[in-house]
Structure 1
């Protein structure tokens, strides 16, 4: 009866943790949270079957559900979520999903249809005394793969954290907690622990998975630095354009010191996640601007002396001749001014267009990060000529970054900036897909200044 009471309490605790995790996974739609939700569901069903079995006696259905949930689905999908969270290559994550789904389907069929041996009572049955060799082999394989994946991911995260990888440092504690949960799941389903300890191990694993999953999700609402627009705009979602607006010159300080550029740090030895989104530019066709259309010659100015004096004299509707305003000429406005023919053009210029597809509901958080990045780049990188983030009309979950650099050295220095690395690390949880388009500028042709027209 004591075992049944412990199992019942553990079931309610696991059920609460499962509900919270499933709710968060549905809201954020992150793949590793979805995988860990399967683990939580499996552990909850196993604990429920244990509680019923201790009270009413175990049977074939309860035993099979217990083994499927805790011994198979629990560790395998826990390892899948860990790989999805840690792996920085799409091929690794895709292979993990393919293996997990295939292995789960095959093992599920065998564990359901394979005949049981021995008799079941109110005591916790051991898999080795109830299953034949093939189901036991599949369970052992699931445990072996899960332990290797969890230990490997924990080791890689600890190594990256020792190299001062910020993202790995933030994930180290959650990863360690989830790895400990995997050890508890494997220990509680091997049949070596007594019933009370096995129940506590599975219940503790469910709690650790939930707590570790919550620690991996960044909370941007309370993040310092993003509440800079005051209470006046507290209820309005961030659009990413606040920092790109024209400054209020009336309230600007008269002698404001220019921002000091951030020196480019020494590039690290290991390749970071951000480098995947900003690869070295490959040769591409030159992007050229079309030649401006030729201007028609201005008509000759009207000379009234050629027609003689007006015999009627001036009237009330006559007035002094108003000269026609001259068309704007000179250097172009904005950061590209002075880069035309008089400024020497951009013979070594290069650029990049990055298209981000965001997860639903994460637009405001991404826009806040993008606005901070745009402001920092404009103030700290003088050789970054254009750096702007755009929304897409009709595509609320898409953002486009357009970037133009003076030369390859400026592009390389930009990729090493700490504010860019911070943006890439913190925006990863909001991004569904990324597409990068490299641009290479030749001798960029800019419009010539228009000649002034004389007044009439």
Structure 2
């Protein structure tokens, strides 16, 4: 009865944690969260089978479910999620998925159909007294592979953290907790521990997996594009000297369109003022748009002569802005991202979400442009131009930028940031925004 009283709350806690993690994995679509969701499902099934077995007596199906969940699926998929999180080469991740899926399928079939030995009561069955040699060999193989993978991942992360790798430092504690969870899973499912300790080990492992997984997930206000600071845990120390974190950070714009010059896209002769659009158009790669251009056919000041510099253009824009008083030189940043193989689509999806939020919330950002590199499909080059230093600083503190930085980290292999201030350039004057219209978007003279 004591065993059942321990197993029931452990099962309920594991089921709640499993539901929360599955919900988050379905929302974020992160492969490592999906793998750890399988781990949590396995632990929940094992604990539920234990609770039923201790209450009403063990039987063959309950023993099989317990072994399948805790002894096979939980450790293998825990190690798979760890590799998916920290491995920086697509070949390593592909090999891990291939092994985990194939091994799980083959071992599951054998564990479900292999004959069982002995009789069952209300005490915890021991795998060595119940299974034949082949199922035991498969379980032992799963435990060895899982322990080796978890220890290797934890050691690799610790080495990177000791070399001042910021991302490894952030992930070190979660990875250590997940490695400890793997040790508890193996200990609790091999039949060496008394029933109460086995239950506590598996229940604690479920809690550690859930907690460790949440430490790797960016925490923010879920429907956040409201300009408020999210609870991401990032602060100014999370940026490098250029204002961005070292891996996978930056702003998403649009692909370059050299055949459509600036004059065709945003500048030209003054036109009749039109009513603002009901909503900004959806971001599409291959377009070149400006976050400030939120109304149909906005009117701009006449462009200066080709010999004008950026400072002249800004001064002219200030004069045309009816006392707006903005005379600071435009500044910007170029960021080169090298993506991990196979992560281009996921990175572009996050970046497209970022630019939609930037269009709505950053009227002083003049250009957001993203370029794909011909012949280098894993590279993205971002070009960003801001009205002045104040606009650049405001951009760095945006909630949607922090969200992008946190979520894109697993897709980026390396980042190179070049901060710049424009010198001589042939640019029309920067448009001066009016107060937001009734639609909540900036208007322009």
User: Is TM more than 0.5 here?
Assistant: yes
Give, in whole Å, the separation in 1 of the partners of 2:132 and 2:143. Answer: 17
Output the CA distance in 1 between the equivalents of 2:119 and 2:74. 25
Paired position in structure 2 for 1:116: 116
In structure 1, what is the Cα distance between the partners aligned to 2:158 and 2:353? 28
Quote how far apart the aligned CAs of 1:424 are: 11
Contact kept? 1:18, 1:37, Cα under 8 Å: yes
Assess, with a 3 A threshold, how the Cα gap between structure 1 residues 353 and 430 changes in structure 2: closer, same or farther. closer
Number of the residue aligned with 1:25: 25
Alignment of 1:393-412 (within 5 A): 401-403=381-383
Please identify the structure whose Cα radius of gyration is greater.
1
Name 2:177's counterpart in structure 1. 177
Map of 1:389 onto structure 2: 369
Matches within 5 A, 1:289-368: 329-331=305-307, 334=310, 357-358=345-346, 366-367=354-355
- Does the 8 Å CA contact 1:366/1:430 hold for their aligned counterparts? no
Q: 1:188 to 1:235 in 2, by over 3 A?
A: closer
Counterpart position of 2:6: 6
Contact kept, 8 Å, 1:357 with 1:432, in 2: the verdict is no
**RMSD between aligned residues:** 4.7
Aligned residues: 313
Does the aligned pair in 2 maintain the 1:274–1:425 contact within 8 Å? no
- 2:75 and 2:142 in contact (8 A); partners too: yes
Q: Secondary structure at the match of 1:389?
A: strand
C-alpha spacing 1:431/1:163, structure 2 compared with 1 (3 Å) = closer
CA-CA distance at 1:390 after TM superposition: 5.4
- 8 A contact 2:59–2:120 mirrored in 1: yes
- Conserved? CA contact 1:187–1:193, under 8 Å: yes
8 A Cα contact 1:167 1:425, kept in partner:
no
Pick closer, same or farther for the CA change 1:351–1:145 going to 2, 3 Å.
Answer: closer
Q: Aligned equivalents of 1:147 and 1:165: distance in 2? A: 24
Q: Tell me how far 1:119 sits from its aligned partner.
A: 1.1
SS in 2 for 1:118: coil
Q: What is the 5 A alignment of 1:46-195?
A: 46-195=46-195
Q: Secondary structure at the match of 2:115?
A: coil
Q: Secondary structure at the match of 1:192?
A: coil
- The answer to whether 1:205 aligns with 2:205 is yes
The verdict on how the C-alpha distance between 1:219 and 1:188 changes in structure 2, with shifts beyond 3 A counting, is same
Shift of 1:86: 1.0
CA distance in 1, matches of 2:157, 2:409: 21
TM-score normalised by L of structure 2: 0.59
More displaced, 99-108 or 20-29? 20-29
TM-score (norm 1): 0.58
Structure 1 Cα separation of the partners of residues 356 and 405 of structure 2: 10
Q: Give distance in 2, aligned partners of 1:425 and 1:172.
A: 21
Shift of residue 89, structure 1, vs aligned partner: 1.1
Segments of 5+ residues of structure 2 without an aligned counterpart are: 231-239, 250-257, 262-301, 314-333, 373-378, 385-396, 415-424, 427-445
Distance 2:163 2:347 in 1: 30
List per-residue Cα deviations over 1:45-94 (Å, max 9, x = no partner). Answer: 10111111111111110010000000000000000001111111111111
